Structure 1
Amino acid sequence: MLRRQILAAAAGLTAAPFAAARAQATWPTQPVRLVVPFAAGGPTDIPARLFADELSKTLPQRMIVENRTGAGVVVGSDVVAKAPKDGQTLLYNTVAHSVLRALFPRLPFDPVADFTPVSLVGVIPMVITVNKDLPARTLAELVDLLKREPGKYDYASSGNGGALHLASELFLRRAGVRANHVPYRGTAAAMPDVLNGTVPIIVDVATTTLPFVTRGETRALAVMDSQRLPQLPDVPTTAEAGFPGLEAYTWHMVLAPSGTPAPVVQQISQAFGRVAREQSVQTRLADLAMRLETDSSPERAAAWMRSEIEKWETIIREANIRVD
């Protein structure tokens, strides 16, 4: 009797890890909520829905995009931070996640401790752009202009503490020059003044910059990336323009609640990676100037997040940036 009890107990201990592995391997067990803390139809929502649609074709359950806006990205992020740690509720966020801790000291969650980076989906570089009549045809000429007349020129952004504001301050501080910040309520509100020269400088996301540059309405001086944009093959990178390492992006990342089992995190990351490698998906997102990360992993995503938090928190502190 004792021998049978010992063997049964041993069998149970052996079976437990296999049972857990089988349970984890069945992810997802119900429809997955992909929470997007931005409005439907916007430049973050579009790729999120594309990935969700493609994943729904191959996963055993559907992936459903849920737009939860409010307080910037705080409301949507809070939903995921407090969700069950089972991989059934995920966050699709941008570079905005990396600045939350510095800009909002009182949050209902910890942007680092309460989330696990799963997959870096892709990056969209910033482009340093000027009014077409500004006497600066290269980045070096713009820097010289700002050095000769410090404080004379203005630059536009989509608002205090936003990605455009931070990227602009990164450029100015790296170049050792000054310009006056003029915040607007979004890029659409800023562009008329950039076009008429009232505020002649803007560092903007490639997605929104491209139409103005290709029509000759603004002049792109440099792409804040390690490689040139295919849509702007004649525009140098910041490294080629004399500022190596001066890079800024709006990036897209999938995050899960902290404590989600590692095997589940790996499965989610691999699923997003498979979609990112599809040529049709790459072609469609090229219209947004997004470069997809086809070999991202949870480790790669976590390293990227740490680097971005360090970079932007330093800029926020040095420039004493505050949100409205």
Structure 2
Amino acid sequence: MRRRSLFALTAAAATTGGALARPAVAQGAWPSEPVRLVVPFAAGGPTDIPARLFAEELSKALPQRVIVENRTGAGVVVGTEVVAKAPKDGHTLLYSTIAHSVLRPLFPRLPFDPVDDFQPVALLGVIPMLLLVNKDLPAKDLPGLVKLFRDNPGKYDYGSSGNGGAVHLATELFLKRAGDLKVGHVPYRGSSAGMPDLLSGRLAMFIDVAAGGLSYHQRGDARALGVSDTKRLPQAPDVPTFAESGVKDAESYTWHMVLAPSGTPAPAVQAINAAFNRVAAMEHVRNRLTDLTMTVRSDTTPQTATKWMQDEMAKWDEVIRGAGIKIG
């Protein structure tokens, strides 16, 4: 793509509503046809909602529509395979999460390679985890919880949204960093299915995505003792980070990233990156995503997105192998 085409795409040409003006696109420049944004999760879920927000704003900004396509099955494998085998022209993209970074250790026989077949394009935002406990648990803070678990190995259970999922992995990382604490694991089909057992006292702890767990803390149905970020949540400034409470190097997130098929031309990758970054920088988009407890990124490059993916893959590979986590 010529430099002037990329500049036209990223220029702040809107006059109302924070939208971008539709740029003139040189012949052969991206996008030259409608763009499929494949979401390997169900419609209406916590990944689908931000994806549709980006697609809506991009459709206003670009000379072609961006269409969200939900392709679920076998975890995220079915939707991810669609993109891996798509034409390498930037018109079929993957909107994925931390799930992509754990495919290799969890699924040894895949119809694609999560690294070799994909080019990370833009990291759009990260959402931390919130550690919740039953409100009647004796531990009143995170050091107290660590002591309770240490003094009673195997007595308590924690819940997760499913074996090998982001919540399960975040909890195993926390338990490891807190001193190899021995706490039983009870997987559920989604966090909402497990929360009643936390509230009733069957479970002692549930580390959930902040967007889902925050309301339980705010209503007083459960107590939040820690957040897995480097800083406190604006929506819960009373809840310290893990590190503030003495559990170091336990940061974990579910994050949102756009990937293209490996081999997509560099000019198209740069144009896609610029388009998503520009939308992420819009005030109303940032406000909406912040409401979902996402820390929005609007300045990542394909190189920094690739580095993030590599770091996440290495971290979770260690956790999965160390905890002996298997699917099925």
Could you state the TM-score of these two structures normalised by the residue count of structure 1? 0.92
1:47 and 2:79 matched: no
1:133 matched residue in structure 2: 136
Per-residue deviation at 1:145?
0.5
Equivalence map 1:1-324=2 (5 Å): 26-176=29-179, 177-324=181-328
The runs of at least 4 consecutive aligned structure 1 residues that moved more than 6 Å come to 21-25
Select the structure of larger CA radius of gyration: 1
1:9 matched residue in structure 2: none
The Cα offsets for residues 244-266 of structure 1, whole Å up to 9 and x where unpaired, read as 32101110000000001112111
CA distance in 2, matches of 1:58, 1:221: 42
Q: Is the 8 A contact 2:72 2:79 kept in 1?
A: yes
Q: Is the 8 A contact 1:24 1:263 kept in 2?
A: no
Per-residue deviation at 1:188?
1.3
CA distance in 1, matches of 2:205, 2:70: 32
The Cα offsets for residues 30-50 of structure 1, whole Å up to 9 and x where unpaired, read as 000000001111110000000
CA distance in 2, matches of 1:149, 1:29: 61
Q: Is the 8 A contact 2:174 2:247 kept in 1?
A: no
Q: Is the 8 A contact 2:158 2:183 kept in 1?
A: yes
Per-residue deviation at 1:243?
2.1
Percent identity between the aligned chains?
Answer: 65
| CA 246–284 in structure 1, closer or farther in 2 if over 3 Å, else same | same
Instruction: Give the secondary-structure state (helix, strand or coil) at the position aligned to 1:254.
Output: strand
Instruction: Give the secondary-structure state (helix, strand or coil) at the position aligned to 2:303.
Output: helix
**Unmatched runs of 5 consecutive residues or more in structure 1:** 1-16
Instruction: Give the secondary-structure state (helix, strand or coil) at the position aligned to 1:91.
Output: strand
| CA 123–25 in structure 1, closer or farther in 2 if over 3 Å, else same | farther
Number of residue pairs matched by the alignment = 308
The Cα offsets for residues 191-214 of structure 1, whole Å up to 9 and x where unpaired, read as 000001101201110011011110
The Cα offsets for residues 54-103 of structure 1, whole Å up to 9 and x where unpaired, read as 01111111100000111110000000000111100000001000000000
Alignment RMSD: 1.8
Instruction: Give the secondary-structure state (helix, strand or coil) at the position aligned to 2:41.
Output: coil
Per-residue deviation at 1:294?
1.6
2:269 partner amino acid: V
Per-residue deviation at 1:317?
0.4
Q: Is the 8 A contact 2:29 2:268 kept in 1?
A: no
Per-residue deviation at 1:323?
1.3
Q: Is the 8 A contact 1:146 1:179 kept in 2?
A: yes
2:49 partner amino acid: I
Per-residue deviation at 1:23?
6.4
2:78 partner amino acid: V
Per-residue deviation at 1:25?
6.7
CA distance in 2, matches of 1:283, 1:246: 27
CA distance in 1, matches of 2:92, 2:201: 46
2:292 partner amino acid: L
CA distance in 2, matches of 1:305, 1:25: 30
Instruction: Give the secondary-structure state (helix, strand or coil) at the position aligned to 1:198.
Output: coil
Q: Is the 8 A contact 1:130 1:200 kept in 2?
A: yes
Q: Is the 8 A contact 1:91 1:254 kept in 2?
A: yes
Most deviating of 237-246 and 174-183: 237-246
Instruction: Give the secondary-structure state (helix, strand or coil) at the position aligned to 2:95.
Output: strand
Instruction: Give the secondary-structure state (helix, strand or coil) at the position aligned to 2:110.
Output: coil
Most deviating of 262-271 and 31-40: 262-271
2:14 matched residue in structure 1: none
The Cα offsets for residues 164-213 of structure 1, whole Å up to 9 and x where unpaired, read as 11111000111111100011111111000000110120111001101111
1:104 partner amino acid: F
CA distance in 2, matches of 1:56, 1:256: 18
2:250 partner amino acid: L
Q: Is the 8 A contact 1:115 1:257 kept in 2?
A: yes
**Unmatched runs of 5 consecutive residues or more in structure 2:** 7-24
CA distance in 2, matches of 1:298, 1:79: 21
